[in-house]
C-alpha cells in the first residue's frame, strides 16, 4: 500500500511532463499522416481559383452600387428613387433571365451562333464548376443591362425598363457573347475581348442608343430651334462616389477575367486598368478646363469611366504605355462623342452612357487590334505585325453594332407598342418618385402633424 501511494505521488508531481510527452509523440505520427495525405498542388491551385473568381465576381456585383450613385447624381432629385429602384430591379431581372436562358445561349453546347443546352442550369450544367462560372458571368450580364438605365433615365416607365432588362440578359447580350466568348464564329475568326469592352460595354452602349432614341429626349432638353439645353445633375457627390466604386469594382472586372488566381498576368492587367482609368480622367479634365476655364466633376468622372471601358478588352495584351494611350484617347472620345450625340443626333443621355460605354467600348475592341504586343496568349495587334487580329476586331465591331442595334430596335419597338416606353408628360414633370413609387428618394419637408 505504501509503495502504491509513493507511485501515485510520483505521477501527480510529474503529470504535466507526462502529458506533454504523450501529446508530442502522439502528434508526430499524426502530423506525418497529414503531410502524406494533405492537399496536392493541383487542389490548392483549384481552391485558389475558386476563391479568386468569387471575390472578383463580388467586386463586379458591387459595381451596381456605383452605377446607381453615378446615375442618381447625374439626374434631378425628383427622380432619385426611380433611379435606385431601376438599378435594383435591373439586377433582379437580369439574374433570373441569365439563369433561365442567357447562360445556355451564351455558353451552352450548340453552334457558332448560339448555345442550345444548359437552360435553367439543368442536368450536367448543375455542377459546381458551372455554378462558379455562371455567377461570374451573371454579374457581367447585369453590368451590360444596367448601362441602358442611365441613358433612358427620368422618362422611362419602370415596367418597360424591367421588361427590357430581362430581354437583353436573356437574348441580346448572350448571343454576341457566344460569338466571342462561347466559341462562336467571331472567336473562330480570331477576334478577342479579354474582359468585355465589346461583349459588355458596347452591347450596353448600343442598346442604350436605341433606347434613348426611341423613348425620346426629356421635356425641355431641346429649345424650339433644336439647340440642346443643360439639365444639371443634382448631386456631384454621388457622381464622384459612384465613379470611385466603379473604379474599385473594375479590378474584379478585368483581373478577374483570368479566371485563375495563380495567373501572374493579373498584376499586369491591374496596372493597365489603373493607368487607363487615370489617363482618361486626366485627359477629360484638361480638355474641359481648356474649353470652359473651369473644372467639371461629371466630365472628369466620365473620362475615368471611358478610360476603364477602353482598356477592358486589351488589358491583358498591351504594355503599360499603351494602356495610357488607350485610356487617354477614350477620355477625349467621351467628350466629343457625347457632344456629337447630343447636338447632331438629338440623343438625350443624362449620364453619357452611350459615349462612355458604346463609343469607348468600340474603341477598346479596335485598340486591342492595334496595341496587342503578341506576348500573352500570343495575341498580336498591328504594332506586333498582327494584321489578322486587327481585321477580326473590325469585324467584331461591325457585328456588335449590327446585332445589338437591330435586336434592341425590335425589342424596344415591341415594348413601346404594347405596354409603352415613356411616362406621361404630367408624370415626367411631377417626377417619377411621386408617380411610380410610394416613397420619394428624398423627403425635404415633413409636416409637423405627421410627427405627432
pLDDT digits (tens, 9 = 90+) for 325-374: 999 999 999 999 999 999 999 999 999 999 999 999 999 999 999 999 99
Cα 237–chain centre separation: 21
What 3-state class would DSSP assign to 173? helix
Tell me the CA end-to-end span of the chain in Å, nearest whole number: 86
C-alpha cell of 153?
433615365
Q: Residue 44's pLDDT band (boundaries 50, 70, 90)?
A: confident
Q: Residue 85's pLDDT band (boundaries 50, 70, 90)?
A: very high
Strand partners, 156: 422
Q: How much is the mean pLDDT over the chain? A: 91
Rounded distance between C-alpha atoms, residue 141 and residue 177, angstroms? 9
Decide: 280 and 355 in contact? Cβ < 8 Å. Answer: no
408-415 CB contacts, 8 Å cutoff, 24+ apart: 408/168, 408/172, 408/206, 408/207, 408/210, 408/211, 409/210, 409/214, 411/164, 411/167, 411/168, 411/171, 411/172, 412/164, 412/210, 412/211, 412/214, 412/215, 413/214, 415/160, 415/163, 415/164
* Full-model pTM: 0.90
Q: Which CATH architecture best describes the domain 41-436?
A: Orthogonal Bundle (1.10)
pLDDT above 80: residue 8: no
Rounded distance between C-alpha atoms, residue 201 and residue 311, angstroms? 11
Q: Residue 445's pLDDT band (boundaries 50, 70, 90)?
A: low
pLDDT of 147 reads 96
pLDDT average, residue stretch 95-122 = 97
449 or 229, greater pLDDT = 229
Please state the φ and ψ torsions of residue 400, each to the nearest 5 degrees.
-70, -35
Decide: 184 and 178 in contact? Cβ < 8 Å. Answer: yes
Lowest mean pLDDT: which of 37-41, 344-348, 403-407?
37-41
Lowest mean pLDDT: which of 77-81, 296-300, 384-388, 434-438?
434-438
Q: Residue 257's pLDDT band (boundaries 50, 70, 90)?
A: very high
Please state the φ and ψ torsions of residue 264, each to the nearest 5 degrees.
-65, -15
pLDDT above 90: residue 35: no
Please state the φ and ψ torsions of residue 220, each to the nearest 5 degrees.
85, 0
pLDDT of 346 reads 96
DSSP state of 378: G
pLDDT of 47 reads 87
Please state the φ and ψ torsions of residue 159, each to the nearest 5 degrees.
-65, -35
Q: Residue 450's pLDDT band (boundaries 50, 70, 90)?
A: low
Rounded distance between C-alpha atoms, residue 214 and residue 440, angstroms? 27
Q: 40: burial class by Cβ within 10 Å (0-12, 13-18, 19+)?
A: exposed
Residues 115, 193, 134, 88: is their CA dihedral positive or negative?
negative
pLDDT average, residue stretch 16-33 = 43
pLDDT average, residue stretch 381-402 = 97
C-alpha cell of 150?
442611365
Q: Residue 40's pLDDT band (boundaries 50, 70, 90)?
A: low
Rounded distance between C-alpha atoms, residue 79 and residue 165, angstroms? 19
pLDDT of 438 reads 82
pLDDT in tens, 51-62: 999 999 999 999
Cα 391–chain centre separation: 26
pLDDT of 294 reads 97
pLDDT in tens, 278-330: 999 999 999 999 999 999 999 999 999 999 999 999 999 999 999 999 999 99
DSSP state of 169: I
Amino acid at each position: 500500500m505504501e509503495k502504491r501511494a509513493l507511485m501515485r505521488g510520483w505521477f501527480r508531481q510529474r503529470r504535466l511532463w507526462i502529458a506533454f510527452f504523450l501529446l508530442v509523440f502522439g502528434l508526430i505520427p499524426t502530423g506525418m499522416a497529414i503531410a502524406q495525405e494533405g492537399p496536392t498542388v493541383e487542389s490548392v491551385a483549384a481552391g485558389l481559383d475558386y476563391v479568386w473568381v468569387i471575390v472578383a465576381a463580388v467586386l463586379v456585383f458591387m459595381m451596381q452600387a456605383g452605377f446607381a450613385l453615378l446615375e442618381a447624381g447625374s439626374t434631378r432629385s425628383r427622380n432619385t428613387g426611380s433611379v435606385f429602384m431601376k438599378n435594383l430591379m435591373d439586377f433582379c431581372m437580369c439574374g433570373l433571365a441569365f439563369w433561365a436562358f442567357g447562360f445556355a445561349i451564351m455558353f451552352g453546347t450548340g453552334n457558332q451562333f448560339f448555345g442550345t443546352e444548359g437552360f435553367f442550369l439543368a442536368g450536367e450544367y448543375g455542377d459546381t464548376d458551372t455554378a462558379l462560372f455562371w455567377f461570374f458571368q451573371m454579374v457581367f450580364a447585369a453590368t451590360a443591362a444596367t448601362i441602358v438605365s442611365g441613358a433612358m433615365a427620368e422618362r422611362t416607365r419602370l415596367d418597360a425598363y424591367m421588361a427590357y432588362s430581362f430581354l437583353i440578359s436573356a437574348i441580346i447580350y448572350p448571343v454576341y457573347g457566344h460569338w466571342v466568348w462561347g466559341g462562336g464564329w467571331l472567336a473562330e475568326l480570331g477576334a478577342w475581348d479579354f474582359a468585355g469592352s465589346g461583349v459588355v460595354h458596347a452591347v450596353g452602349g448600343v442598346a442604350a442608343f436605341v433606347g434613348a432614341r426611341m423613348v425620346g429626349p426629356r421635356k425641355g432638353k431641346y429649345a424650339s430651334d433644336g439647340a440642346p439645353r443643360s439639365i444639371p445633375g443634382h448631386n456631384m457627390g454621388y457622381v464622384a462616389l459612384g465613379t470611385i466604386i466603379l473604379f474599385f469594382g473594375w479590378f474584379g472586372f478585368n483581373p478577374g477575367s483570368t479566371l485563375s488566381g495563380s495567373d501572374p498576368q493579373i498584376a499586369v492587367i491591374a496596372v493597365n486598368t489603373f493607368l487607363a482609368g487615370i489617363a482618361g480622367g486626366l485627359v477629360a479634365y484638361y480638355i474641359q478646363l481648356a474649353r470652359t476655364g473651369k473644372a467639371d466633376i461629371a466630365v472628369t468622372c466620365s473620362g475615368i469611366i471611358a478610360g476603364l471601358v477602353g482598356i477592358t478588352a486589351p488589358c491583358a495584351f498591351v504594355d503599360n504605355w499603351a494602356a495610357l494611350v488607350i485610356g487617354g484617347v477614350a477620355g477625349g472620345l467621351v467628350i466629343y462623342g457625347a457632344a456629337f450625340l447630343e447636338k447632331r443626333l438629338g440623343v438625350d443621355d443624362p449620364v453619357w452612357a452611350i459615349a462612355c460605354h458604346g463609343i469607348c467600348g468600340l474603341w477598346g475592341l479596335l485598340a486591342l487590334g492595334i496595341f496587342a504586343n503578341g506576348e500573352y496568349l500570343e495575341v498580336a495587334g498591328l504594332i506586333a505585325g498582327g494584321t489578322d487580329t486587327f481585321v477580326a476586331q473590325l469585324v467584331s465591331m461591325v457585328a456588335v453594332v449590327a446585332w445589338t442595334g437591330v435586336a434592341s430596335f425590335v425589342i424596344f419597338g415591341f415594348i413601346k407598342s404594347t405596354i409603352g416606353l415613356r411616362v406621361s408628360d404630367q408624370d415626367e414633370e411631377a417626377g417619377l418618385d411621386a408617380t411610380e413609387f410610394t416613397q420619394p428618394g428624398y423627403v425635404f419637408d415633413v409636416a409637423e402633424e405627421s410627427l405627432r
